[in-house]
Chain A
């Protein structure tokens, strides 16, 4: 306090001196603080209408000479700008943080909008609300934060990515089920930039929002906005770092060596199964990973020239040996504006270098099934192996006798020129060039079981790939207000171009393992005509051309209107009758709170009703489906020499067009009680027309029995609710809580049109793998995606043999049961019917505590581990302990029955997960030069409440075979993080 008083007196005296010197001028001094009374440094203080200005110092103080009666404008990034008329010489200001809901900026296609004016379903998550800790990628930051967006971490592999699904299944054979991910407007993926370098993530959920992205918009659009350079003066340095470790989320309870020996004593198992050792194979292949991540951000400059640079390093190991991702990302963002902001430039440079090695899930399978009495090595130090056994490899040897690494580089340069020649008119030209390179190598030593079995004498493969993407977007936007009528019109042109190249070589028969894949020419496999060698290369070029436009209108911010259209073509449809698609959208909003009759309703801060309709597309993922092609393929022995003959690629289909999703969305946004209670609700119905499907066509005369064509229709209907409440908001204590809920109903309406008729009213999909070798799912026309379809067991007899329910509903004994397709039944569905999440943040003084929880309900999982490892007939592999539990409380499963896929292994998957728990402590101005330090402890995937018996009920629920919890899956992990953030 004393220090402040001294400064105040000092300022005052200076002020008096100045005021004495310049009569017409008035010296104003003051102090700027935030709502928590912490001084704000670097706040812009400008005399309105002039260039006269200054910034606050380290203690938040400023002094400025102004004309008497002047108005001062206080602006600071992240805070609401305030204008205050000067009265007297002292002006202290409390800047409110810019979290007022309605003024929040929402990123929409090719621009931004005030949240209050948005008429579509758009969700925004800002960095302060991100999940904390060792996240895999940008997806995990917003897990459980957006209603209707299902983000799943289904693998603990450090090279894996989050799987995304928005508003149900949308395609059968389309390009992909992934949303379009834009990083600062440029297509990329969830790990293009480091999670720590992200400022906010916006999700365009409904068709009216996504339609401006045309053919790529069907699965929604996720817009990632990276941290930006500040517009103010001054500079800032931030460091964020953490270390973390992981453990397996859950272990399978397999028989141990002791169990084996007990079984031998009991006569259940052959004596020959005791190999004399005692090995925990899972432990043999696991490690305790130590991960660390560092992120350094520099910002600085002034309103005309400013920059941001970040450096990010992440070193993440997996729980399995030799699995890791090491990634270095550097990014710079430079802005320059000239001619009074009429012309401005932005240059962004991104460079990402990555080294990674994934994990082959088959090795995990081996660790699970390998005999626990088998030593790792024999007395001579040689790996214990049984080369004659089928699908049976020493798991540790698989890891130790192989070596692989991929390294990738991504370089992206983008520039934007913005010209504002007239008031309200903005012309923008964005150009971007990204290049991604991969080099990968893999080596199996001469002792690796695969090379031993195949007599390869060492095997190496080396590959490289390169993708280059060019993007040009030209947009013009004009904003105009006439009285209470506000218009914005946007028009644009986009050109995107992709070129991919790849090359690989495989070789074998090496004299030494010393050089691995690094000296591939050493192998003589190619010279000797081994069948393991291979060379290949390829190149693909595609482009995407689009014209788009959007029109926004509002009257007094009360009635809101938006219409957009995109006209687009992609080379995937080259040669078809009409490669161009048109994707319109329209939406309306009614801000009820802006109506005069609401003036006296004070507890309602905002109430907006929205309705929107939009069309988006999905493009085929193969090229030249519409034209006849001839490719070299099928070999032919021609006069003593082998030649490649020319084979047609497919039945060409010139009628091929875009899959089109037509979506209607009705929504309500509300904010009550001074924004203490807010949220939104959305009801949607999305119908996808022209689903691509491989239609059966008559052979003869067609070459092959299917032609890829558009004819299917699928529908998703659903409801999404997000409620945010601040139940407690006191000086020292805040509690902020968010609840989301969503449900989706899926239906495949038809798979036929006038040209293509499906031949049966269902198709089967999904696969159990060998040796069961059957499909897992069936999709019925008129039904939903994701139905498990197999034999239904209702009981076992006294000998532990299945009793089935046959097609007619009769109970049938194992020996009498016809294991036919006709006797298969619907066993459940792998897509959760409801998703919910509940996130809480508590703040007590400088301590904060947050818990995010999320769950999925009403769905089933096919537990592959149980299906394969509870069978008692298979003697060559280890089993789950639960194989000896009584089935249906009656008897242990009979040893006379083959492995099979039946309802006993289809379990309810409902779960409620306490996912991210974080405890943090923030110190403000702890020392000179340090503005803030924050420490935190965090866990991810902390605790699961579920009846599911497998490792983790959070399994992949996308695609056509959702809910398959497969054997070779890298188990999910629990992560513990200790982190610190410094702001200088």
Chain B
């Protein structure tokens, strides 16, 4: 036996072992799906991909489940989600929003807060990354316009928070120290901040209205935003700014940038609407690219399941959301916006075959949508007019392809009209309103004409309760400029804004409609979500909650 031989083996073994110990203590850091930020050096080519990310919050903020669209519509007087044969009770959330009984724990209270601050944090991060040189922008003009664009975008996000929550913390820094808890700002401070940011940014923004500025903040979309902020200045800051609002509207109207009214309102909302001259700020949506669940699915939320066959939808719609009958009753029967924006009557498959009720107590009956909803806690498939302002293309998936016109030219005109009306020029306002109405009354042009006197009248909306247990008739004639509020409803229904208009006209927390009774003026602000206060003790809850 040769022991030495084995000892040699031993040495080899030990050497191999020790060398592998030294070599093999490195953790893998290869990533095949994401960049590790500290190992990533972007080039100029990456700039749009980095800056563009800041716009990515629009679709979630607006359209995702219980997002801004619902926060602006479901507590207002046009739209309701009643209990349906296939559900839609969902723990009472939609009912509570309709009745202004939402709690500080509600998903709808959290959703917009979180998604909007995500957008703000993203703007702050990208501004920081540009300022620190991580994003290499060498061109001075591009540098200035990029920062200005991000500040305008961030101001738009703050506008949403100002509108919904009011007293929110303003955070503009990305590189904050650990454990930093932002201070709360008053609604007026938030308003002032938005105005300041926009005024400072506008000089550096592009004045072009073209493909390159589509869906981005150019000068005109920033001015529209500024006009909207001024329009609501009285609500936000206590001081009305009608003149300033009108001034911004006039700048846009006289810009020569090429914005104009469509001949038909429907054109703004068709599937391929990206070239519409009426759109000032559009959120681009395309089901080949924006494929997120709920990216844009009003059709899924409003069509009954069997109506899949009407549009050959790729997914079975969920059925639920419909128009409040009292609101539909305000329409003039000759107003083409009624049939252009709503579905009612017998529904047919794309093959022409009449559709039937497939659920509930009316199973087997023809699916004829009627302007009647028995109760928020009970309805059948046939109940309630459904929404089709946004064209539902044949073969749509669960995401509609239509871009979402967040700001449109008709809105600028109507803002101007409202300012004129409120500052004593009712006839001037009426001219504009008539202009808007003309495209809706082509069959009966005489009805398009409104006078200053008309605009000073109350609302046609017959407010009051309409449930199985309570029926009241409060009417709307006492609402100041109520007729103008009606005009806004007819033109801008389903556009995720009704709450804001109702608040400005003092109606939101005062009137009853469908199953809703007023539940306190403090309901004109949403509460700060419980969890956000609990993680930042600097925040004080909005009054009343």
Binding site for B on A (CB under 8 A): 270, 272, 339-340, 342-343, 386-392, 419, 421, 427, 429, 453-456, 472, 474, 476, 493, 495, 497, 529-532, 538-543, 545, 547, 569-571, 573-575, 579, 623-624, 627-640, 642-649, 696-705, 755, 757, 759-760, 770-774, 819-821, 874-876, 898-899
Contacts and interface: CB of A to CB of B under 8 A. Distances in A.
Contacts of B316: 390, 453
Contacts of B470: none
B361 A455 contact: no
B56 A633 contact: yes
Contact of B212 (A272, A388, A639): A639
A627 B33 contact: no
A760 to B, nearest CB: 7
B57 to A, nearest CB: 8
B543 interface: no
Contact of B27 (A454, A543, A547, A648): A543
A700 B37 contact: no
B522 interface: no
A454 B315 contact: yes
A-B pairs with the 5 shortest C-beta distances? A771-B87, A388-B306, A634-B56, A636-B52, A637-B284
A936 to B, nearest CB: 48
Contact of A579 (B27, B32, B173, B284): B27
Given A390-B86, A636-B55, A703-B122, A631 B35 contact: yes
29 contacts: A339-B1, A387-B306, A388-B305, A389-B306, A390-B316, A421-B6, A421-B7, A421-B10, A474-B20, A493-B21, A540-B32, A547-B21, A569-B27, A574-B28, A631-B35, A635-B286, A635-B289, A637-B286, A640-B214, A698-B182, A701-B174, A701-B176, A702-B121, A703-B118, A703-B121, A771-B86, A875-B360, A876-B85, A899-B87
A633 to B, nearest CB: 7
A340 B1 CA distance: 10
A632 B37 contact: no
Given A388-B355, A421-B6, A541-B30, A645 B121 contact: no
A950 to B, nearest CB: 23
Nearest to A704: B118
B49 A453 contact: no
Contact of A705 (B6, B92, B114, B359): B114
Contacts of A630: 34-35, 37, 40
A874 B358 CA distance: 12
Interface string B46-60: 101110110110000
A474 B17 contact: yes
Nearest to A874: B85
B314 A454 contact: yes
Contacts of A699: 113-114, 117-118, 121, 532, 535
A644 B49 contact: yes
Given A270-B363, A339-B6, A531 B314 contact: yes
B293 interface: no
Interface in B35-82: 35-38, 40, 46, 48-50, 52-53, 55-56
A538 B25 contact: no
B478 interface: no
B89 to A, nearest CB: 5
B171 interface: yes
A705 B21 contact: no
Given A541-B28, A700-B169, A386 B48 contact: no
B399 interface: yes
B476 interface: no
B118 A571 contact: no
Contacts of A270: 363-364
Contacts of B85: 874-876
B355 to A, nearest CB: 7
Given A429-B13, A453-B308, A629-B35, A698 B56 contact: no
A421 B9 contact: yes
Contacts of B122: 648, 703
Interface centre among A343, A579, A634 (most CB of B within 10 A): A634
Given A493-B17, A531-B288, A875-B360, A701 B34 contact: no
A645 B32 contact: no
Nearest to B52: A636
A894 to B, nearest CB: 13
B101 to A, nearest CB: 10
A253 to B, nearest CB: 24
Given A429-B13, A701-B121, A645 B53 contact: yes
B35 A531 contact: no
Contacts of A634: 52-53, 56
B49 A643 contact: yes
Interface in B143-157: none
Contact of A696 (B314, B398, B531): B531
Contact of A388 (B26, B38, B286, B356): B356
A274 to B, nearest CB: 12
A627 B36 contact: yes
Nearest to A570: B27
B182 A700 contact: yes
Contacts of B398: 531
Interface string B109-130: 0100110011011101100000
Nearest to A630: B35
Given A454-B315, A638-B48, A875-B361, A697 B56 contact: no
Nearest to A873: B85
Given A474-B17, A640-B211, A696-B531, A389 B359 contact: yes
A639 B274 CA distance: 12
A25 B500 CA distance: 113
A302 B106 CA distance: 74
Contacts of B169: 700
B27 A571 contact: yes
A173 to B, nearest CB: 18
B264 interface: no
Given A495-B20, A531-B288, A700-B171, A386 B358 contact: yes
A390 B360 CA distance: 11
A912 to B, nearest CB: 37
Interface in B376-423: 395, 397-399
B30 A636 contact: no
